[in-house]
Chain A
């Protein structure tokens, strides 16, 4: 469409050029335009946390940002974080502890937990619970997620 806006950004270390409609949110852009379907959409109103990605190194909700706001930004999704190997310890702990059932919340949970451990390598259980309280999980009792983060931190 003629009113699409050109954007240039970096996604998982790769340069991306795209033309996007003004209303396209970042989560939809990543999923639909770039095929990065590891970012999930659970509510589109900023509460469930399933769409969490990193924008310029900070956790952000992909459904609350527009793709055009990301012009010039550096985005990391679960696909990039997985490939970099930086989540390996958390992923192993999640696997061992069965910290996921359907796995729909999981990519965002991992990215969120990794940010906690970056700033606070030895959190308490309460700190873990508090930190992931913006990420809805309907399947687990959260406990295995807390266990896994604690295991990865130890």
Chain B
């Protein structure tokens, strides 16, 4: 039976939780104080690579407030090391890592010792008094030097610093490129940056030895994953480990991993038998949060004279960090690039090579839109260049090569299953919102006044709601399915217990809307309980845009069961066919005769207090569960297009975004208010990636800009208004039809800005390929172009 999906599903409902946050009543990890709580601070390596010859803690041990000092040797007794293996990629190197570095620090910021003290300030004071005997080692900061024959080996257990190599091939790209009429070839560089949640990472771990009970409050996306990891690495019974993620102040992927310092705080709690709090400061965050990007992509796209794309070959050189992130491994960013580049286009011949090396840099991993922005930007920049060379319109060229309705379903050249994507529809919609001819006229007028305006388009594919196979086959304990437990109280009000988590994107509200719509009861009568590994059914948390597609679907299924039970009870009590009944606004109605009957609250009271009045075999459970996860597909693919308009000041090199448009297809939209602002937030992060955000390192590997004064993030003043429009192509793999929407903003913005800047600079012969597009880079490129021009 098809479930009727009615309002408030799809309505622009504001979030309940927002009211508490607006009153300053949020409860973030650092807001929680427990009796006997102590604070932890870390001694971190100032070197990118150094041997630890000795650690002298004697002076620190006697300082005020110091309770305990720990080094790797102290923690070894209570916590095991780990290796981020992935069985799908058996050749990937997975060197061992532990909570504190043992004999070698492999990146600047790696924790080597920790102090537990009465206050954070005292712990920091004592950290300064710990003397580490460092023996600096030669460090490597990029793939080429890491793979040089005489490169220092970062992990002695490995023969070289090569982490992984792979190749994806469809057809024969080399032959196709050799036969192509036009080949566009460029090398792109995307520098390293990070996620920068405003609330830094933080944890409060409490251990009660009498019950072997570990209770952790943590700013994190995946409570069940952490429960499993803490239980296994600390050797505790899993059912005695509880991980609670209270309000989380932004996550974006950087809070869904195991961090050594956070595990060390748990280990210290076990050693001390009391609550230990660790809150990262901003410097620590820049150094030790998961980093992202840091790829160099060499790409060649071949065209026939008639505009057909005949082949694409890319090589991704992926500068990873000193270790693999745990438990997922660090492979996915390179993997997504090799699978998604050029994905919107019909492509008979495709080849993508990936080479990934360990470096003496922070661990690199999964941050929002893993790999997507790079894959899209590379292909879309090549298409623009192809159009210039072929002397045709770049949008017509896209349209000519887009995968169209008749092509679906298909497995892409990169090996990803696409159910149905809407590239043409998204472009049509975009063109109905942006008058390109008008923009071109403005561009010409402005150029006469010395202003260089550009417009850029970027078509992207968005992989969301990963299925269980990827990590299941990988051997990681990562749940890609969801279970929902619905309990109707005697009042007729409902609690939803679910394994997805809400860091502000609003998935709790989306799920509440689904249940309200299916059950026919008011939204205010429903609450979501999430983010607590003891209270929520085992599930995956929130990452990879899975909340709506998996959490929404499983909540719908559970609500459908509860609805069936309510209607069967009502049918029995009213002596009517349940098929004739519905619940509208909390009241049972006979839809055939139009009569109103008992309320859901009355039914709930009977179900809980007078169950003996119902036949024993009548479906009447008021606590129900459902489980949902795809059995066979790897991802749910969505898609979209972004359009950026920017002004480039060629005297200063400064880029000002003027207008930005997103047309996005995430299937059924549960709540447009929430989806729109989530996409806008992603776009702004993408503008940050495109224009500002970059780690800069000294020659010795020291990070030069680990503060907000030096690492630029987008602020309100520079950001444009962002229009968001939707095409809805619901997935048929679920009843709800929702796909994810969290990656889209960031996935598409980077390439749109890059193409817009290159459009602006085309008349002066500049084509930028290095992101972020900072003023010095733009000025240098303009200088080079002018020098080249003067030589001719």
Q: Which residues on A are within 8 Å of B, measured CB to CB?
A: 21, 23-24, 31, 35-45, 47-48, 50, 77-79, 82, 87, 91, 94-98, 100-107, 110, 125, 128-130, 132-146
Contact = CB atoms under 8 A, between A and B. Distances in A.
A135 B719 CA distance: 13
A91 B18 CA distance: 9
Contacts of B721: 125, 143, 146
Given A44-B282, A139-B681, A98 B717 contact: no
B23 A47 contact: no
Given A138-B713, A141-B722, A95 B199 contact: no
A126 B518 CA distance: 43
Contact of A101 (B506, B713, B722): B506
Nearest to B196: A138
B124 to A, nearest CB: 11
Contact of B24 (A45, A107, A125, A136): A107
Contacts of A144: 677, 680
25 contacts: A38-B24, A38-B25, A38-B26, A40-B199, A44-B281, A45-B282, A47-B708, A77-B24, A82-B22, A91-B23, A95-B15, A95-B22, A98-B14, A98-B506, A98-B674, A101-B503, A101-B677, A102-B504, A104-B198, A104-B199, A106-B22, A130-B716, A132-B716, A134-B715, A143-B680
Interface in B649-706: 673-674, 677-685
Given A35-B33, A98-B14, 12 more contacts: A42-B198, A87-B22, A94-B22, A95-B14, A98-B18, A102-B199, A136-B713, A137-B716, A140-B681, A141-B677, A142-B684, A146-B721
A67 to B, nearest CB: 13
A63 B19 CA distance: 26
Contact of B505 (A48, A101, A133, A136): A101
B121 interface: yes
A102 B248 contact: yes
A121 B26 CA distance: 28
Contacts of B197: 102, 104, 138
A50 B708 CA distance: 13
Q: Would you list the 3 A-B pairs with minimal beta carbon distance, nearest first?
A: A38-B24, A141-B680, A103-B21
Given A98-B674, A98-B677, A143 B22 contact: no
B250 interface: yes
Contact of B198 (A45, A133, A138, A141): A138
A107 B15 CA distance: 17
Contacts of B248: 102
A105 B503 CA distance: 13
A45 B709 contact: yes
A130 B15 CA distance: 27
B244 to A, nearest CB: 16
Given A94-B18, A110-B22, A103 B716 contact: no
Contacts of B282: 42-45
Given A48-B708, A110-B22, A98 B198 contact: no
A31 B281 CA distance: 16
B680 A140 contact: yes
Interface in B169-228: 196-200
Interface string B279-297: 0011000000000000000
A110 B716 CA distance: 14
A91 B19 CA distance: 8
A110 to B, nearest CB: 7
Nearest to B673: A98
Contacts of A77: 24
A38 B715 CA distance: 22
Interface residues of B, number: 57
B678 A101 contact: yes
B786 interface: no
B95 interface: no
B31 interface: yes
A62 B292 CA distance: 31
A87 B251 CA distance: 28
B707 interface: yes
Contacts of A134: 715
B273 interface: no
Nearest to B685: A138
A104 B505 contact: no
Contact of A82 (B15, B24, B715): B24
* Most chain A CB atoms below 10 A, which of B17, B708, B719: B708
A39 B682 CA distance: 25
A98 B681 CA distance: 12
A35 to B, nearest CB: 8
Contacts of A31: 30-31
Nearest to A1: B64
B715 A100 contact: no
Interface in B241-261: 247-252
Given A104-B249, A141-B719, A45 B504 contact: no
Contacts of B24: 36-39, 77-79, 82, 107
B28 interface: yes
Given A96-B14, A143-B722, A136 B715 contact: yes
B198 A136 contact: yes
Contacts of A135: 715-716
A35 B25 CA distance: 11
A87 B21 CA distance: 13
B79 to A, nearest CB: 29
Contacts of B19: 91, 95
B556 to A, nearest CB: 23
Contact of B715 (A43, A98, A128, A133): A133
Contacts of B506: 98, 101
A102 B709 CA distance: 23
A40 B18 contact: no
Most buried by A among B22, B199, B247, B683: B22
A31 B29 CA distance: 12
Contacts of A79: 23-24
Given A23-B121, A45-B707, A82 B677 contact: no
A133 B717 contact: yes
Contacts of B281: 44
B247 A143 contact: no
A59 to B, nearest CB: 15
Nearest to A77: B24
A145 B22 contact: no
A40 to B, nearest CB: 7
A43 B505 CA distance: 23
B198 A102 contact: yes
B722 to A, nearest CB: 5
Given A98-B14, A106-B22, A139-B250, A47 B716 contact: no
Contacts of B674: 98
Residue among A40, A43, A91, A101 with the highest chain B CB neighbour number at 10 A: A101
Given A42-B198, A136-B198, A47 B709 contact: yes
A102 B18 CA distance: 8
Interface in B88-135: 121
B97 to A, nearest CB: 27
A50 B387 CA distance: 46
Contacts of A102: 21, 197-199, 247-251, 503-504
Contact of A142 (B25, B719, B745): B719
Contacts of B713: 136, 138
Contacts of A103: 17-18, 21-22, 26, 247, 249, 504
A142 B716 contact: yes
B716 A145 contact: yes
A139 B504 contact: yes
Contact of B250 (A23, A96, A104): A104
Contacts of B121: 21, 23-24
A129 B722 CA distance: 14
B123 to A, nearest CB: 14
B504 A100 contact: yes
Contact of A95 (B18, B707, B708): B18
A119 to B, nearest CB: 18
A143 B15 CA distance: 17
